[in-house]
Amino acid sequence: MTTLNEISSALQQGRVPKVKEFVQKALDEGIPAGEILEQGLLSGMNIIGEKFKNNEVFVPEVLIAARAMSKGTDILRPYLVAAGVEEKGTVVIGTVKGDLHDIGKNLVRMMMEGKGLKVIDLGVDVPVENFLNAARENDAQIIACSALLTTTMGEMRNIVEAVEASEMKDKVKVMIGGAPITQAYCDQIGADCYTPDAATAADAALALCTG
Ligand code: B1M
Q: At what angle do helices 103-114 and 198-210 cross, to 10 degrees?
A: 50
Ligand 1 binding pocket mutation candidate from 106, 108, 148 (most atoms within 8 A of CB): 148
Tell me where in the chain the CATH 3.40.50.280 domain(s) lie.
90-210
pLDDT score at 85: 65
pLDDT tens for each residue of 73-102: 889 878 876 765 678 899 999 999 999 999
Report the b/e string of 11-39 with b at 16+ CB within 10 A: bbbbbbebbbbbbeebbeeebebbebbeb
The answer to whether the CB of 148 is under 6 A from ligand 1 is yes
> Domain spanning 90-210 has what CATH number?
3.40.50.280
Per-residue pLDDT tens over the stretch 20-64: 999 999 999 999 998 999 899 989 998 998 998 899 999 899 889
What is the fold, at CATH topology level, of the domain defined by 3-82?
Answer: 1.10.1240
pTM: 0.84
Ligand 1 atom 50, closest CA: 101
